[in-house]
Amino acid sequence: MLPRTPARPPPARALLACLACLAGPACQDPPPAETRFERLERPAERIRDFAEGPPEEGGPGGVIAVPPAGLLTQAIQAGDARQVQKLLEGGADPNARDGRGETALLAFFSGRNWRAEEPVLELLLAGGADPDLADNLGRTPLHAAVERGKLKLIERLLEAGARPSAPDAEGRTPLHRAAELERLEEAGLLLARGADPLARDKHGANPLHTAVARGGFWLARLLSDRPEALASRDAEGRTPLHRAVEKGDLDLAALLVERGADPLVEDSAGERPLAWLARRCAALLEERRDRPASVSDHACLRHALLRSAALFQASAEGQESAVELLLAKGAAPGELHGFLPDLGARATALHAAAWGGHRPVLVRLLRAGARPDAPDANGWTALHTAAWRGNFLEAEALLQAGARRDVRTRSGATPLELARAQENDALVRLLQRGR
Per-residue pLDDT at 24: 54
Note the pLDDT tens digit of each residue in 165-200: 999 999 999 999 999 999 999 999 999 999 999 999
Per-residue pLDDT at 90: 92
Contacts of 102 (CB under 8 A, 6+ apart): 110, 135
pTM here? 0.77
Per-residue pLDDT at 13: 54
Per-residue pLDDT at 34: 45
CATH topology of domain 66-163: 1.25.40
Which residues are 347's β-sheet partners? 338
**CA torsion angle 144 90 75 40 (round to 10):** 140
DSSP 226: S
CA 50, 55, 61, 66 torsion: positive or negative? positive
CA 211 to chain centre: 5
Compute the distance between CA of residue 397 and CA of residue 22 in angstroms, rounded to an integer.
116
Residue 350's Cβ-side half-sphere holds a number of Cα atoms within 13 Å equal to 28
Per-residue pLDDT at 51: 46
Q: How confident is the model at residue 58 (pLDDT cuts 50, 70, 90)?
A: very low
**Residue 184 contacts residue 218 (beta carbons within 8 Å):** yes
Which residues are 339's β-sheet partners? 346
Per-residue pLDDT at 48: 47
Per-residue pLDDT at 46: 47
DSSP 294: G
Per-residue pLDDT at 111: 80
The helix (H) or strand (E) run that includes residue 263 is none
Least confident of 3-7, 96-100, 124-128: 3-7
Q: What is the total residue count of the chain? A: 435
Q: How confident is the model at residue 79 (pLDDT cuts 50, 70, 90)?
A: confident
Give me the amino acid identity at 237: G
Per-residue pLDDT at 195: 97
Q: Is the pLDDT of residue 397 over 80?
A: yes
Phi/psi of residue 142, each to 5°?
Answer: -70, -40
Compute the distance between CA of residue 40 and CA of residue 64 in angstroms, rounded to an integer.
20
Q: Select the highest-mean-pLDDT range: 35-44, 78-87, 195-204, 342-351.
A: 195-204
CA 254 to chain centre: 17
Tell me what the mean pLDDT of segment 221-230 comes to. Answer: 96
Per-residue pLDDT at 77: 87
Compute the distance between CA of residue 362 and CA of residue 360 in angstroms, rounded to an integer.
5
Q: How confident is the model at residue 65 (pLDDT cuts 50, 70, 90)?
A: very low
Per-residue pLDDT at 328: 93
Tell me what the mean pLDDT of segment 197-206 comes to. Answer: 97
Q: Is the pLDDT of residue 23 over 80?
A: no
DSSP 295: G
240-247 helix and 273-287 helix, angle to the nearest 10 degrees? 40
Average pLDDT taken over every residue of the chain? 86
The helix (H) or strand (E) run that includes residue 347 is strand 346-347
Query: Would you call 205 exposed, middle or buried from its count of C-beta atoms within 10 A (0-12, 13-18, 19+)?
Result: buried
Per-residue pLDDT at 174: 98
The helix (H) or strand (E) run that includes residue 166 is none
Share of the chain above pLDDT 90, in %: 72
Compute the distance between CA of residue 349 and CA of residue 326 in angstroms, rounded to an integer.
12
Query: Would you call 30 exposed, middle or buried from its count of C-beta atoms within 10 A (0-12, 13-18, 19+)?
Result: exposed
Q: Is the pLDDT of residue 218 over 60?
A: yes
Cα–Cα distance list, 24 to 45, 264, 432 (Å): 36, 92, 125
Per-residue pLDDT at 340: 73
Compute the distance between CA of residue 414 and CA of residue 380 in angstroms, rounded to an integer.
9
Compute the distance between CA of residue 166 and CA of residue 143 in angstroms, rounded to an integer.
9
Per-residue pLDDT at 339: 74
Q: How confident is the model at residue 115 (pLDDT cuts 50, 70, 90)?
A: confident
> Phi-psi region for residue 202, left (φ > 0), alpha (ψ -120 to 50) or beta?
alpha
Give me the amino acid identity at 184: L
Q: How confident is the model at residue 17 (pLDDT cuts 50, 70, 90)?
A: low
Task: Report the Cα–Cα distance between both ends of the chain, in Å, rounded.
Answer: 134
Angle at 266 between CA 264 and CA 271, to 5 degrees: 100
Q: Is the pLDDT of residue 29 over 80?
A: no
Compute the distance between CA of residue 48 and CA of residue 40 in angstroms, rounded to an integer.
14
Q: Which of 358, 311, 303 is nearest to 334 (CA)?
A: 311
Q: Is 293 helix (H, G, I), strand (E, B) or coil?
A: helix
Q: Is the pLDDT of residue 22 over 90?
A: no
